[in-house]
Amino acid sequence: MKLLFDNFMVNGLSFLSSAFILLIGIGVLAIIVMFVIDITQTQDAVRRNFPVLGRFRSLFTKLGEFFRQYFFAMDREELPFNRAEREWIHRAAEGKDNTVAFGSSKILTVPGTAIFVNCPFPTLDSDAIEVQPLRIGEGCEKPYDAPSFFNISAMSYGALSTPAVKALSAGAKMAGCWMNTGEGGLSTHHLEGGADIVFQIGTAKYGVRDDTGNLSDDKLREVAAHDQVKMIELKMSQGAKPGKGGILPGSKVTAEIAAIRGIPEGQDSISPNRHPEINDAASMLDMINHIRAVTGKPVGFKAVLGSYGWLSELAEEIHRRGLQSAPDFITVDSGDGGTGAAPMPLMDNVGLVVRESLPLVVDILTEYGLRDRIKIIASGKLVTPSEVAWALASGADFINSARGFMFSLGCIQALKCNKNTCPTGITTHNKRLQNGLNPAEKSVKVANFCKNLIHEVEIISHSCGVGRPRLLKRKHVRIVLPDGTSVPMDERFPYKNVLPDYAPHVVVS
C-alpha cells in the first residue's frame, strides 16, 4: 500500500514538474512569437519599438480608461489635449467610423465655449459647395492658390525625425494641404512626398544663412527655386515661447541636420530671440519686401500677439508705402501653442491665446482696409472640427495645426519631445525608436486626418445653413457666459468698419 502511495506521489510530482516546464516553455515560445510579430509589424510604433512590453500599454490604457473614468481624469480633463480630442483625431486618422454613442461628454456651460447656431433649414448635401482654393499673394510674381483651409503647421526637421517629416510630406500631398518646414531649413525629406511647402525663416536663418548668420540671398533664391516651395514665412515669434529663439538639444543635431541648418554637429542649436535686423514695423516690412523681391513668392510673418498697438503702426506704414508692400499673410499663433522645447514660464503665461487674438487681428486689419489684401492663418490647439469651424467663423482664412498632425502620426502625448526619447519615433533621432514609425503607413493617416477634419467642418457649416465652411461668420457662433447662457459672437466681438482715413467704407457682414 505504502509502495503504491509512494509511486503515486513520485508520478504525480513528476507530472506536475513536467507540466510546469511545459507551461514555461509555452510561455517562452509565446513571448518569442509575440516578439517576432511586434518587431515585424508596422501598424503600431510602440509595439515595434518595445516588442511584447508595448502590448501592456494598450492593455493598461484600456484598463486606465475605466479607472480614470471613476477615480482620476475624465475624458475632457487631460492637458494639453484631453482624451476625447486625442481619440477623435485617432479615429479620423484611422479612417474609421467617427460617430459617438449615447450623448456628449462635453460640458456645454463652461464660459467661453463656442456653440454653433444651427439653421432650421440646413444646407442639403446636394447643395453643398466644394472647398475652393484661396489665393495668397495677389499681385505677387508667383501667387499661391492654396487648395486646403487646413494645413500642417511649422515643425522643424530636427525637432521632428526623418520618418515623421517623410510621412507628413507624403500625407500632405495626398490630402492636398501644405506643409510648413519650421525654422530648421528645407530637406530632401520635405520635398520627396511632393507636397506644397511653406518655407519658414527663423531668427537663425537656418538653411539660408551665410557664414556670419545673416540672410544669404543666394541660398534663399536656391530654396525658392523649388516649384514646391509656394510661400515664405518669416517667424517673428511662436506661441509657446514668445521672445525666445528655437532650442534644439545637441543630442538631436545629427550630421545631416547640422549640414541643412549650417551649424556644428552635436552642439545645442539655439537661435537668437529676435531677428537682429528687425526692431520695428518698418524694418519688418523692409525684410518682407526684400524676401519677396528675391523669391517672387508670397511672404508673410508668424507671431503670437501680446501687445498689439504695433499692428496699427504696421498698417499705417503699409499705407504710406502702398498696398503692394503689405505682408501677404499673417499667421496668428496662440499663447498655448506647442513646441519641441521651451521654458515653462514662457509656455504657461506669455502671449494671448488665439481665442482672443484672432478676432483682434481680423478687426485691426478690417479697420485699416487690409482684410482682403492680407490673408490670416490661425494656429493653436485647433485640432477638432468645432475648433477649426470657430476659427473660420472668427475670420481666419486658413488654419494650421502641428500637434493635431503629430497625433495622426501616432503621438501618445508622452511629453518627451525635447529628450530624443520619443517612444513613437516622431521627435527622436534614435534609429531604434524611429524604426516604429513607418512613413508609408503613417502618411495615409496624416491624409485621413486632414480630409476627415475638413469633412466634419463642412458638416458644421451645413448645419448652420451655409454651403461651405468659409461662409461661416461670427453670427453663426454663440459664446457661453459665466451664468451658462450665451451671447452671439458678433455681439461679443462686433465687426468693425473701415476707418474713415482708409476708405472705401465697407462693412463686413
Instruction: Give the integer Cα–Cα distance in Å for 349 and 357.
Output: 15
Among 93, 140, 159, 409, which residue sits at the site for ligand FMN (rule: CB under 6 A)? 159
Q: For residues 460 and 468, is the Cβ–Cβ distance under 8 A? A: no
- Give the residue among 454, 349, 438 at the shortest CA–CA distance from 462: 454
Closer to ligand FMN by CB, 299 or 417: give it. Answer: 417
**Shortest distance, position 465 Cβ to ligand FMN, whole Å:** 29
Binding marks (x or -) toward ligand SF4, 368..387, rule CB under 6 A? --------------------
154 binds ligand FMN (CB under 6 A): yes
Total residues at interface with ligand SF4 (CB under 6 A): 13
**Shortest distance, position 414 Cβ to ligand SF4, whole Å:** 3
242 binds ligand FMN (CB under 6 A): no
Closer to ligand SF4 by CB, 408 or 427: give it. Answer: 427
Residues in contact with 68: Cβ distance below 8 Å, sequence separation at least 6, in sequence order = 74
Closer to ligand FMN by CB, 288 or 498: give it. Answer: 288
- Give the residue among 307, 274, 377, 383 at the shortest CA–CA distance from 338: 383
Closer to ligand FMN by CB, 278 or 417: give it. Answer: 417
Phi and psi angles of residue 82, each rounded to the nearest 5 degrees, phi first: -80, 170
User: Cβ of 426: how many Cβ atoms within 10 Å?
Assistant: 30
Q: For residues 269 and 341, is the Cβ–Cβ distance under 8 A? A: no
**Shortest distance, position 165 Cβ to ligand FMN, whole Å:** 11
Closer to ligand FMN by CB, 123 or 180: give it. Answer: 180
Instruction: Give the integer Cα–Cα distance in Å for 155 and 506.
Output: 37
Among 315, 350, 389, 422, which residue sits at the site for ligand SF4 (rule: CB under 6 A)? 422
Strand ranges for 277-425 from DSSP E: 299-304, 329-333, 375-379, 398-401
User: Which residues in the 423-452 window bind ligand SF4 by CB under 6 A?
Assistant: 423-424, 426-427
Instruction: Give the integer Cα–Cα distance in Å for 153 and 382.
Output: 11
438 binds, among ligand FMN, ligand SF4, none (CB under 5 to 8 A by kind): none
381 binds ligand FMN (CB under 6 A): yes
* Residue in this structure with the C-alpha cell 461668420, named with its chain if needed: 473
Which one-letter amino acid corresponds to residue 368?
A: Y
Q: What is the DSSP string of 350-392?
A: SS--HHHHHHHHHHHHHHTT-TTTSEEEEESS--SHHHHHHHH
Give the residue at shortest CB distance from ligand FMN.
182
Instruction: Give the integer Cα–Cα distance in Å for 228 and 241.
Output: 29
Instruction: Give the integer Cα–Cα distance in Å for 434 and 161.
Output: 7
163 binds, among ligand FMN, ligand SF4, none (CB under 5 to 8 A by kind): none
* Residue in this structure with the C-alpha cell 449615447, named with its chain if needed: 102
Binding marks (x or -) toward ligand FMN, 186..225, rule CB under 6 A? --------------x-------------------------
User: Cβ of 452: how many Cβ atoms within 10 Å?
Assistant: 22
Residues in contact with 61: Cβ distance below 8 Å, sequence separation at least 6, in sequence order = none
**Shortest distance, position 342 Cβ to ligand SF4, whole Å:** 13
**Shortest distance, position 333 Cβ to ligand FMN, whole Å:** 4
**Shortest distance, position 332 Cβ to ligand SF4, whole Å:** 24
Phi and psi angles of residue 465, each rounded to the nearest 5 degrees, phi first: 85, 15
Angle subtended at Cα 336 by Cα 393 and Cα 172, rounded to the nearest 5 degrees: 65
403 binds, among ligand FMN, ligand SF4, none (CB under 5 to 8 A by kind): ligand FMN
152 binds ligand SF4 (CB under 6 A): no
Among 68, 416, 475, 492, which residue sits at the site for ligand SF4 (rule: CB under 6 A)? 416
> Which residues contact ligand FMN (rule: CB under 6 A)?
153-156, 159, 182-183, 200, 235, 238-239, 246, 302, 333, 337-340, 379-381, 383, 401-404, 417, 427
> Which residues contact ligand SF4 (rule: CB under 6 A)?
406, 411-417, 422-424, 426-427
